[in-house]
């Protein structure tokens, strides 16, 4: 039986790559190139202090790739930024879903033991591991729309789960504003940690963010203010005299 081309090549000492190895190698090269461009973008934002001043030439120079290579992956800097943000949000989504699926009894048990909410450390670990590019993009010189996109994703993931078992007297405008308030507060604290250099450990920060959601007005001054929340929410639902004017 005659040898195949592959057999003949191996006999001669030349090992041909398997067919499925070629696209894998290409995927690895593509991934390396995109990571290099992502990191170069972050470095340029830090160097210039303003995303709007970042150029393709500067990014490719830092990344060590040609402009032609850049344009084979992205249309322009805005496209590069958009792709990074979309990928980040897509990767964060399941982590947020995991956090939002925590039952109140699990959360209560964690708080009673001064532990963070289950799932919070995974989110913070993700952010810390990618801080080198998330900090510039989410910072003052980055993309203002990025944090808005993060908040929108969290709201979308959390809203349905948060309604499960809720006191019906709190449904409506009160609930929607509460959710907006809570998400904005938590994302704001996350950004403050990121911009501050993430000096606190992931576990410490997760415990802080868990506790912050339960601090009542006056708690820090040893003068807590009690609120009849269901009654307050119900009062908000009733027509206001000003609404009739």
CA 108 to chain centroid, in Å, comes to 25
Q: Which of 125, 127, 184 is nearest to 152 (CA)?
A: 184
116: left (phi over 0), alpha (psi -120 to 50) or beta: beta
Q: What is the pLDDT of residue 126?
A: 97
pTM for the structure as a whole: 0.80
Q: What is the pLDDT of residue 12?
A: 39
Q: What is the pLDDT of residue 216?
A: 78
pLDDT along the chain (245 residues), means of 10: 40 42 70 96 97 97 96 97 97 94 90 94 97 96 95 90 60 78 93 95 96 85 79 68 56
Q: What is the pLDDT of residue 217?
A: 79
Buried b or exposed e, range 186-213, using 16+ CB within 10 angstroms: bbeebbebbeeeeeeebeebbbebbeee
Q: How far is CA 138 from CA 51, 167, 201, in A?
A: 11, 36, 20
Q: Which residues does 179 contact at the CB level (< 8 Å), separation at least 6?
A: 155, 158, 159, 162
pLDDT in tens, 82-114: 999 999 999 999 999 999 888 889 999 999 999
pLDDT in tens, 106-117: 999 999 999 999
Nearest-angstrom CA–CA distance, 179 and 236? 16
């Amino acid at each position: 039986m005659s040898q195949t081309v592959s057999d003949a090549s191996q006999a001669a000492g030349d090992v041909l790559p398997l067919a499925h190895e070629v696209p894998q190698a290409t995927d690895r090269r593509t991934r390396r190139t995109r990571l290099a461009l992502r990191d170069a973008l972050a470095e340029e934002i830090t160097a210039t202090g303003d995303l709007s001043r970042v150029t393709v030439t500067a990014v490719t120079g830092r990344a060590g790739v040609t402009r032609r290579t850049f344009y084979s992956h992205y249309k322009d800097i805005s496209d590069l930024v958009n792709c990074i943000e979309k990928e980040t949000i897509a990767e964060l989504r399941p982590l947020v879903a995991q956090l939002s699926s925590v039952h109140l009894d699990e959360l209560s048990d964690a708080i009673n033991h001064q532990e963070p909410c289950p799932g919070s450390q995974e989110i913070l670990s993700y952010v810390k591991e990618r801080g080198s590019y998330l900090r510039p993009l989410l910072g003052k010189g980055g993309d203002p729309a990025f944090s808005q996109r993060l908040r929108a994703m969290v709201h979308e993931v959390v809203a349905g789960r948060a309604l499960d078992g809720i006191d019906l007297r709190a449904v409506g405008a009160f609930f929607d504003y509460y959710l907006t308030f809570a998400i904005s507060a938590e994302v704001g604290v996350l950004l403050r940690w990121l911009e501050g250099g993430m000096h606190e450990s992931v576990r410490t920060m997760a415990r802080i963010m868990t506790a912050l959601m339960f601090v009542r007005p006056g708690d820090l001054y040893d003068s807590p203010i009690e609120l009849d929340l269901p009654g307050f929410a119900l009062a908000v639902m009733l027509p206001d005299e000003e609404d009739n004017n």
